[in-house]
């Protein structure tokens, strides 16, 4: 056992963990509280919030954005999820990774089942002319295709301060639940930026501009890339990564996050 593990065990003994939802001792999130988190998948454009079928970028926003859409499991305004993400990122409760990844994985599984049921219905009843666009808009991640998961990278200094990259930790757990998902490491941080959460609107876009670069040794031509992160708000970060990946020949670039929108304002 390492010194870090010994110290962690000591802290658990002196300050036993308790459920972040109900306070039950001995566990970070009890089964009852985990099961209480609803899956409310985003069904709107990640940029203008116009309603779309799977969270696709709407036709208007496609003209000046690169991200094809975003799959997110729940609004960030959910108090329990907000507490979980905060404890995970800022209080170093790394055990939250498994709970959050399981929640996201279950949400994706449910969405995949709905797509499969819709396809089966079309086969049984015959595809109508109005259904053709629906099939064309199904993201690869929901069609059980080969997917490359790209965690949004942190600047090395930021990652050192936090102790881990939450996006990579999340992607690693998610990949274990899907046979067709594989982690890739092609996007790199090119510069340190101001935390996006402290900015809004145009400032976010300016802040993240040219913040990333691609590892030219890895080819992503004709691949389906899914960018993994904890929360998506204005989608500026994902869109900047999507710009690079699309220019490198990717077939599609989607985002996959735990939550969408903004936290509750006090």
pLDDT of residue 262: 77
Query: How far apart are alpha carbons 153 and 170 in whole angstroms?
Result: 12
Could you give the residue ranges of the DSSP H alpha helices within 36-191? 59-62, 79-90, 96-125, 132-136, 156-162, 166-175
Query: How far apart are alpha carbons 70 and 201 in whole angstroms?
Result: 18
List, in sequence order, every beta strand (DSSP E) within 130-223: 147-151, 181-183, 187-189, 212-214
Tokens in use for 229?
């992160």
CA angle 177, 137, 249 (to 5 degrees): 75
Which residue's structure tokens are 């985990």? 34
Tokens in use for 171?
């992607």
CA 96 from chain center: how many Å?
15
Query: How far apart are alpha carbons 63 and 47 in whole angstroms?
Result: 12
pTM above 0.85, yes or no: yes
Lowest model confidence (mean pLDDT) among 30-44, 110-124, 142-156, 221-235: 110-124
With a cut of 50, say whether residue 128 has pLDDT above it: yes
Ranges of each domain in the chain? 1-36, 39-260
Which residue's structure tokens are 């930790």? 169
> What are the pLDDT digits (tens) for 96-110?
999 999 999 999 999
């Amino acid at each position: 056992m390492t010194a870090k593990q010994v110290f962690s065990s000591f802290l658990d003994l002196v300050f036993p963990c308790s459920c972040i939802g109900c306070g039950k001792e001995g566990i970070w999130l009890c089964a009852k509280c985990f099961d209480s988190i609803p899956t409310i998948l985003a069904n709107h454009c990640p940029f203008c919030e116009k309603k779309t079928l799977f969270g696709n970028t709407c036709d208007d926003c496609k003209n000046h954005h690169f991200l094809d859409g975003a799959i997110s499991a729940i609004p960030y305004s959910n108090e329990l999820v907000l507490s979980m993400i905060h404890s995970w990122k800022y209080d170093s409760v790394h055990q939250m990774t498994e709970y959050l990844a399981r929640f996201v994985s279950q949400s994706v599984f449910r969405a995949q089942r709905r797509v499969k049921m819709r396809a089966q219905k079309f086969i049984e009843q015959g595809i109508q002319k109005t259904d053709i666009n629906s099939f064309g808009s199904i993201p690869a991640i929901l069609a059980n295709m080969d997917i490359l998961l790209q965690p949004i990278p942190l600047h090395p200094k930021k990652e050192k301060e936090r102790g881990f990259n939450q996006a990579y930790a999340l992607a690693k757990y998610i990949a274990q639940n899907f046979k067709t998902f594989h982690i890739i490491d092609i996007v790199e941080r090119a510069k340190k930026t101001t935390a996006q959460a402290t900015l809004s609107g145009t400032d976010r876009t300016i802040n993240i501009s040219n913040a990333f670069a691609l590892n030219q040794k890895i080819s992503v031509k004709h691949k389906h890339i899914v960018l993994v992160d904890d929360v998506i708000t204005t989608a500026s970060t994902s869109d900047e990564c999507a710009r690079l990946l699309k220019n490198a020949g990717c077939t599609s670039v989607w985002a996959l996050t735990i939550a969408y929108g903004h936290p509750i304002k006090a």
